[in-house]
Structure 1
């Protein structure tokens, strides 16, 4: 026996968790096996695939093009000495030195960007002013090495790896990992949380939400829809992550290398999934309340804009707090419910402690319960015209009559 919002007892109604599970299973199945879900999965993949293809084509064009070269029109012995010196220096210094190409005369320079004449003792570099000025130091170094029969001996550096490391240096290097994790979490949350809005507006138009509200507690409807959309989002992320994994295996060298997070990559990814779920549910609960009050898509867009801007500002605040570890700003970012997932994920990349994450998740779960409870009460009062406020109005009408 369960009492509704007006205190009237009913028999045979499902419990809150069971009713939420029914709603979640219904919405999840309906969305997952719809035709629109397939196009939803393909949506973010198209720009990524196009960008990768464009980058690979551009890289191929760069590789197919000839690197800038300097034509060397010197005596044969001097020209060979210059080329040998250049190749030896390139082996020590790495890439960056201009290519030297031996030609018989200045007329045979072809498409070389500059022409080198004279002798190693007095080289003359001709070409466009900006280009030859940039190559002046390289040519001087090559010519200095070519003047002797062999390269001058360089002292060999002995390497001594330190067993200890500075925590501040590690923290600075891990800022890039923390920022990348925060940005990815924010993009996924904002891209996927908006699906909650249209779902409830459609059911309000079809009067389905009224049937559900009459049969089960409104909190169960909210929780069921939130977790159903979260499940759909996780399926989409799993598909996109699988495609990303294949691309990483094929072209892993093209991806930027990030420093290892403080908690390690497996635990960071697990925390990323958990904090995405919390950020999605927190923001989705607000969007769900907005969608329950709106009657049209236009109203949804108008009402959700302030929430979107607020979330964007909180994301920037969490990003700033990431650079102030241990400060009151970071503590405030971790306490604010909508910035807490972003701040805590950045903390996981910089600090190996795990107990703060348990406290943060409990705090976020508490706020989720409060937001769902408040949203369901608001829906009953404003949209369903029920609850304590509606009961008072009916009593006033009867007394007046």
Structure 2
């Protein structure tokens, strides 16, 4: 009997590698590898094994030492792994040397995140931003793509065919980068016009580490069908919805989640999207309080906010997923509070479960207290809305 040919895409098998250094403890390395495995899973890659090595600094040639590299090579060959993923950014020469040694695809954390963003991006702006970040990442790494031609030398005053090909590729990539920047400038001008029109309402932005429940909370507060999934970077495009709480309207924005070791090129390219955060009147910093590294995640988000120029925004700390904590621990945290160690002005703290819809009304009231102050600044002569049958109005304007 002839076996049917499977048309399902092949699931790639990966090996993950991290270092234990004076700046990164064994516990941190383990936690980072767990997050890297989650990133790999989000990309549709199955993790077979993880490797760690204690070094003062990464090996300049192969990132890990010779002995550890032999261990990784033996495992890759025995289990036919397709890719080895490193938790830190690799130099072009390290990638080239590792590919020669391991004879498989080599990725680092930055490229893995860029790949996820490229799949998740839906709008024209997000797609162009991710593509620009990918080309910026690729440009200094083009040399390794033509290493197989390195033995072909040209005569005096002539270049070898490999170098010609490389220069052609560099020119193509630089042209593509220039084109994407021009395209993003045009989109940014359109976005700026849209944001100017939104100044008539108070603006609130959801921020936080990736996969802490921002999109789920967005759905609850805005009562809209916003995409939410238990994967890293489920949301890449910013989403804006109009929300009304206690008859005070405002705009709520769900933004891309932050993560440790976020590629710098990605931060740069997404700065126009992050304008939604910079121009917000209030930030809702959503935290997965059940995560063992929640304190570190808070610090990463706060440092990223400072980097993009939003470090002085008033903030409500929204501690989510309290339902995933033991009751005694949850009660203790709610009584004693959580030290945030941030210069960000925290105006309130709320403990909720977006999944179980616990304390959502408390959060609504906390948001309303902050938003109505801004609303009255915009509309100092604002009157309480008059309620009619089937409609309500603000300042005499009826809204169906």
Question: TM-score, normalising length from structure 2?
Answer: 0.22
Higher helix share: 1
State the structure with bigger RCO (CA 8 A, min sep 6), 1 or 2.
Answer: 1
Computing the radius of gyration from Cα coordinates, the structure with the larger value is 1
Question: TM-score, normalising length from structure 1?
Answer: 0.22
Higher strand share: 2
